[in-house]
Structures are given as structure tokens and as C-alpha cells.
């Protein structure tokens, strides 16, 4: 769907043959990279069930394929994920910058931003100025929303995809907290509450309508389309969540994935 600051491709996947367009994304935030294998494992299980004509949790998936056109962007922030997992890149200028922005440390486990030190989930034109007002004004590991909305190639790619695809609903997968944020400024439609209650039922997560936060991807989607948008905070603990939590998180998320397709 586009390229990152460092020129890495941002893959997008499309599966399905239906009229209803649903979107999942993961790894907006670098140290929340566990969301990528969670989403990809669901994709694998979904494709296997279609191929083998089998069910997931008693639900046959061919009807989901026929009614839903699913878009997945499994890693919005490839440069940031690489930074968290593998440390700073070889490019001397970039390396010097990210270490400086990280207070001189080469431990990037707390890094959420892209390689420019911009928090990609503070980049969308949905009360962006309010978020900027209270957040850092210079690049860093988290919460710096850039000098203007949609300044970064990764957030531009996501905005372009969303405008082009005209999604019925979007789910952005983050960590952590076991909560699902589903409102923005009272602009969400009534069906958002019905959907989030179903997500909560199958996952055990807590629905939270409003949170003192702006300029996120789901905020912008709700604001501009007046359709259901959700930020799903998977798992509990300190980011990055350990891979040892993978199975537990996947079992909690699986119901959300399925409901998002068939509801």
C-alpha cells in the first residue's frame, strides 16, 4: 500500500468476495509488534479453514468469505518494528538520530514511533491540534505527532488506502489493556455499541466509549465516515508484551476477528 521512511514495503492483503468491506491493521506502534503475528495467524487459520472447508469455533468460514471483503495491513510501521527487535539501522545519520531521540540509549524496547520519531497513531486529522498541544514537540520514542497531520509516508499510505476502499468498519490492533475503544466525540453510529458489546462478549475485553485521546486512525475514520471504528488493546502487561503471551492473546482475539467478519 506504500513504503516506509526507510523504503520498506508496507504490505496489504485482500481476501474475500463480499460487498461488506472490513479492515484490520496491526503494528501502528513499534513496540506493539506482537499484534502482527496475531493478525497473521488469524489470516492463516482463516485461509486453512476455507481451503479445507472446515470451521473455526464451530463457524464455517465460506459464508464469511462470500459476504466480506477483508483488508489487512499487518505491519503499518516496519521501520519501527525493526528498530525495536534489531536495534538501530546501519545508516549513520538515522542511527545517530534515533539514539539521540532515545535519550542516548540503544535499548529501543519502549519505542512506539516510526524511524522519524513520529507516533503514527497521533498523525490523523481528527482534533490533531488538541493532541499536539499536550504532547512532545520534538521527535522521540512516543507521542510526537509530527509537524502536521499525515506528514509520514506510513500514515499517508493508511489514509490513502482507507479513502480508496470505503470500509464499512475498521479495527486497529494495539497492545495492551484488554479494552476496546469504540467512540470519538459522539460521532460513532449506534451499531458501534452493538458491535463492541459482541466483541466484549467473545473476548472478555472491556468496551470503553471515550478516552482522552485524539488524532488516532480510528478517531479519523469515525469522524470522516461516521462508521464503526475500534482500537483493540490486546493482552495485559508492559509493552512489548512477551511472546509467551501469544497463545492466550490469540484465543481472546479470535472471537473479535470472527465477529468483525460475520456481524
* pLDDT at position 22: 98
| Band of residue 121 on the pLDDT scale cut at 50, 70, 90 | very high
Task: For residue 146, give the nearest of 5, 2, 10 by alpha carbon.
Answer: 5
* Arithmetic mean of pLDDT over the chain: 98
148-193 tens-digit pLDDT: 999 999 999 999 999 999 999 999 999 999 999 999 999 999 999 9
Half-sphere exposure of 179 (CA within 13 A, CB side): 11
Question: Is 205 tagged catalytic?
Answer: no
Cα torsion angle, 138, 142, 143, 147, sign: positive
Q: Is the peptide bond before 179 cis (omega within 30 degrees of 0)?
A: no
| Band of residue 211 on the pLDDT scale cut at 50, 70, 90 | confident
Q: Which of 214, 217, 250, 252 is catalytic?
A: 214
Q: Which of 152, 188, 233, 252 is catalytic?
A: 233
Average pLDDT over residues 228-247: 98
129-144 tens-digit pLDDT: 999 999 999 999 999 9
* 102 contacts: CB under 8 Å, gap ≥ 6: 108, 111, 140, 141
**In angstroms, rounded to a whole number, what is the distance separating the alpha carbons of residues 64 and 62?**
5
For residue 210, pLDDT beyond 90: no
| Band of residue 195 on the pLDDT scale cut at 50, 70, 90 | very high
45-64 tens-digit pLDDT: 999 999 999 999 999 999 99
Is the distance from CB of 122 to CB of 144 less than 8 angstroms?
A: yes
Question: Is 233 tagged catalytic?
Answer: yes
For residue 105, pLDDT beyond 90: yes
**In angstroms, rounded to a whole number, what is the distance separating the alpha carbons of residues 215 and 232?**
16
* 148 contacts: CB under 8 Å, gap ≥ 6: none
Average pLDDT over residues 86-99: 97
* pLDDT at position 212: 83
The phi, psi pair for 185, rounded to 5°, reads 55, 25
Amino acid at each position: 500500500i506504500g513504503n516506509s521512511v526507510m523504503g520498506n514495503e508496507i504490505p496489504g492483503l485482500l481476501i474475500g468476495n463480499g460487498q461488506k468491506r472490513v479492515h484490520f491493521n496491526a503494528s501502528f506502534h513499534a513496540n506493539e509488534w506482537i499484534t502482527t503475528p496475531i493478525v497473521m495467524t488469524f489470516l492463516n487459520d482463516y485461509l486453512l479453514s476455507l481451503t479445507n472447508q472446515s470451521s473455526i469455533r464451530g463457524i464455517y468460514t465460506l459464508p464469511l468469505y462470500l459476504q466480506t471483503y477483508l483488508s489487512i495491513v499487518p505491519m503499518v510501521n516496519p521501520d519501527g518494528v525493526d528498530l525495536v527487535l534489531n536495534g538501530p539501522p546501519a545508516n549513520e545519520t538515522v542511527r545517530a538520530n534515533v539514539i539521540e531521540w532515545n535519550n542516548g540509549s540503544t535499548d529501543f524496547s519502549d519505542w512506539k514511533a516510526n524511524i522519524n520519531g513520529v507516533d503514527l497513531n497521533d498523525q490523523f486529522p481528527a482534533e490533531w491540534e488538541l493532541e499536539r498541544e499536550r504532547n512532545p514537540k520534538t521527535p522521540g520514542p512516543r507521542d510526537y505527532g509530527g509537524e502536521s497531520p499525515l506528514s509520514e509516508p506510513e500514515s499517508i499510505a493508511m489514509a490513502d488506502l482507507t479513502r480508496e476502499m470505503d470500509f464499512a468498519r475498521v479495527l486497529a490492533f494495539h497492545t495492551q489493556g484488554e479494552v476496546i475503544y469504540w467512540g470519538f466525540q459522539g460521532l460513532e453510529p449506534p451499531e458501534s455499541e452493538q458491535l463492541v458489546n459482541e466483541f466484549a462478549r467473545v473476548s472478555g475485553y472491556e468496551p470503553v466509549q471515550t478516552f482522552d485521546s485524539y488524532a488516532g486512525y480510528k478517531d479519523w475514520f469515525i469522524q470522516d465516515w461516521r462508521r464503526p471504528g475500534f482500537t483493540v488493546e490486546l493482552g495485559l502487561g508492559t509493552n512489548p508484551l512477551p511472546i509467551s503471551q501469544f497463545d492466550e492473546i490469540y484465543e481472546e482475539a479470535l472471537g473479535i476477528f470472527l465477529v468483525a467478519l460475520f456481524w
